[in-house]
Amino acid sequence: MKKREVIASVKDEKLVKKRRNEMIKGAISLFKQKGFHQTTTREIAKASGFSIGTLYEYIRKKEDVLYLVCDRIYDEVRERTEQDLGAHHGTIEGLRRAIAHYFRVVDELDDEVLVMYQEVKALSKESLPYVLNKELDMAAIFEHILRACVESGALQLSESEIRLFAHNIVVLGQMWAFRRWVLRKMYTLDEYIELQTEFLLKGIMEKQRV
């Protein structure tokens, strides 16, 4: 899916990326405390260390912050999985590595993931489909990896099973953020990745032996 363009009046792309990351950090903290509707753009500017005028050089409205968060999560997952797939394309090892990359992104951006799903209801009817479709794009990353495993003979899955498996991966990654208050007391991130990956693969591998 094509990115929704968030217009900036500043032309320096590196500076835009840097300032928007600072903006996201300040906004996420406020959204967690006060919620999307109760947070003002002036408060976001202050939390980011900008004047309100500077803020509007990088975004046009408050909803733009949620678009940027959504894109950042998706882009991180896509970039990391694509970087690592070359030598492991169509293999179980490649699938394992992709799952691990995704779970680690969720861990690093856990506040962003949490706020994204808490505040998605705050988006307008016109804006909501963009975020929901990005969720489908995330699942599509894993659908592509799973299909490659099927084509290579590493897995035997129907198209329906591929789609469901991909969504299971996405949800289990999100669970690390949503239930972090308890899961992090029980498991390290590495343990969580290992256990969930084994659970995911166990059923499929047993099915293939039948």
Parse the chain into domains and list their residue ranges. 13-60, 67-205
CA distance 19 to 140: 30
pLDDT of residue 61: 84
pLDDT lower than 70: segments of the chain:
1-5, 84-85, 206-210
Q: What is the pLDDT of residues 103-153, one digit of tens each?
A: 999 999 898 888 888 877 777 777 788 878 888 999 999 999 999 999 999
DSSP string, the chain: -PPPP---S---HHHHHHHHHHHHHHHHHHHHHH-TTT--HHHHHHHHT--HHHHTTT-SSTHHHHHHHHHHHHHHHHHHHHHHHGGGTTSHHHHHHHHHHHHHHHHHTHHHHHHHHHHGGGS-TTTHHHHHHHHHHHHHHHHHHHHHHHHHTS----HHHHHHHHHHHHHHHHHHHHTHHHHHHH--HHHHHHHHHHHHHHHHHHHHH-
User: What is the C-alpha to C-alpha distance for residues 51 and 95, in angstroms, rounded to an integer?
Assistant: 45
Tokens of 137: 């794009």
CATH of domain 13-60: 1.10.10.60
In the block, tokens 């290992």 appear at 194
Q: Please report where in the chains the tokens 């509007």 appear, as a residue.
A: 56
Q: Which phi and psi angles does 60 have, rounded to 5°?
A: -110, -25
Q: Residue 136 corresponds to which tokens in the numbers above? A: 């489908």
- Domain 67-205 is found in CATH 2.60.40.10: no
pTM of the predicted structure, to 2 decimals: 0.83
